[in-house]
Amino acid sequence: MLKKLIFYFFLFVPVFSIAQKKDKQAKKAAATITIDDLKSRLAIIASPEMEGRNTPSAGLEKAADYISSQFKSFGLLPGNNGSYRQTYPLYQDEVISSAMQVNEEAMVEQQDFTPFSRNYAADMYFSQAVFAGYGIVDEGKRNDYKGLDVTGKLVVILNGTPDDYTTASRSFRSPSSVYGKMQAAAKEGAAALFIVFPKLSKGFSGFSDSWTRQIYKSSQTIFSFFISEDAAAKIIGTDGNSVLTQLKTGSLTSKTCEADIHLAYNKKTKTSSASNIIGVLEGSDLKDEYVFITAHYDHLGKRGEAIYYGADDDGSGTTAVLEMAEAFAKAKADGHGPRRSIVFMTVSGEEKGLWGSAYYTDHPIFPLDKTTVDLNIDMIGRTDSSRHYGDSLNYVYVVGDDKLSTDLKPISEKINQLYTKLELDYKFNDPNDKNRIYFRSDHYNFADKGVPIIFYYDGMLGADYHKPTDTPDKINYALYQKRAQLVFYTAWEMANRDEMLKRDLKLSVPSR
């Protein structure tokens, strides 16, 4: 009887696929992630020579070369057709000329008008303009175009919001934002748009005249100029009061104004590029499945003489990826390579809007449905000064382990319990957290395509965040090492377990 009982017991006990005891080889490899190594590599990544690693820039290219050379020295295979680089194009518009005339009178650029920096090149002549108040269209609440036909016309609207209108949305796409008003005017069929500002400051162009990843668009932004109240008065007319005062006192309503207006804008488009750096450690029996370990190596560059070193953001993640790559490569050289292939990827353009990871997940080199996980690191070297509970020197924020796969959390927690014993803090995992961290770094592009992710983060949003003072001397290296080792052990487990992580949860994106 007893024998049979034991037999049944073993038969029906669920099979634990998570490591239940420490793996000697994993420990040996993790021990090569040393404080000295982290220090010396981060000193290079966040050095003045890298000039803050703006996307695109010479400093970023230097960092790319350094990361590639490190991957090569570890013996990693180039991830993209013989190259460590996956390069994507970037575009920047440069204004050649712009002009505005009202009734043959030339307006002065920067003083009377500033063209929208993303305008297409055009030359337009109008004999009329339609004034449409604040130009707000907010479904069911307000429509400043009511009763107006602006098809093919030049529309004049005021910046800002009227006193009798409130909106909860503070997004840059809200109906009362500049962007929202441009969208509304385009939807109404307008050919061009003037947005009136009380004063135009020098260099004002509404949106920064910066590099962009997208040059091909499904629709063009409406041809727009930002104009001063004085310039607007020449079109709308004046009763001695400013346009804004006229509107507020009710002496000004929506109307068609007769005026000969000439608008001209000419530009040229410059091109550049940036790269993701990808190194691969080939697996053994499961080498056609992939574990991704990612971090962004770009930061904010320079403003004037000030270098934004980005030591924590995200020099810490980049350096951790390098250290993990070295540790896994050493273990493989000792005969303890991973079963799945491990892809070490440092991406660029994160600070500009997750460009590199978006490009990778739109142009994946390794099948996303064979990518079991992305472990993404963005800032793991410092402490959160606003965290007033627990052990402030022994924690890490973990984000996303309850999404897409029910396998993530048990593995993450078990591995931490076995090896690193950090406090895993889920504060930023709350879908209602205003920081929306799940959507704010590169892992989101993987999650959006269904790849389970865990994101590791230190919560540094204090005085040095996105400041030139985010420097290597502020890093807590002992804590940094421990966090890097947690990611390493987690990757080790995920690379070696029998099954890929199951994808059994749907990702729901909370509304803003």
Positions that interact with Zn ion (CB under 5 A): 313-314, 378
CB 138 within 8 A of CB 280: no
Nearest CB to Zn ion, comparing residues 314 and 425:
314
Q: Name the minimum Å distance from CB 382 to Zn ion.
A: 12
Alpha-carbon distance of 24 to 34, in angstroms, equals 17
Q: Residue 206 CB, nearest distance to Zn ion (Å)? A: 26
User: Within a 13 Å sphere around the CA of 243, how many CA atoms are in the beta-carbon half?
Assistant: 26
Rg of the chain, C-alpha, whole Å: 28
Q: Whose Cβ is closer to Zn ion: residue 133's or residue 310's?
A: 310
CB of 244 to Zn ion, least distance (A): 40
- Shortest Å distance, C-beta 314 to Zn ion: 4
The pair of structure tokens assigned to 399 is 């984000």
At 329 the three-state DSSP class reads helix
Q: How far is the CB of 454 from Zn ion (least distance, A)?
A: 16
DSSP letter for each residue of 131-178: E-TT--EETTTEETTTT---TT-EEEEESS--TT---S--STTSTTSH
Please tell me the distance from the alpha carbon of residue 343 to that of residue 345, in angstroms, as a whole number: 6
- Whichever of 19 and 354 has its CB closer to Zn ion, that residue is 354
What 3-state DSSP class applies to 287?
Answer: strand
Q: Which one, 28 or 440, has the nearer CB to Zn ion?
A: 440
**Least distance CB 129 / Zn ion (angstroms):** 44
**Do the Cβ atoms of 203 and 98 come closer than 8 Å?**
no
Residue 291 or 300 having the CB closest to Zn ion: 300
DSSP run (H or E) holding 179: helix 178-187
* Nearer CB in complex with Zn ion: 298/407: 298
Q: Nearest approach, Cβ of 272 to Zn ion (angstroms)? A: 21
**Pseudo-torsion of CA 384, 386, 391, 396, nearest 10°?**
-40
Residue (378 or 458) nearer to Zn ion, CB: 378
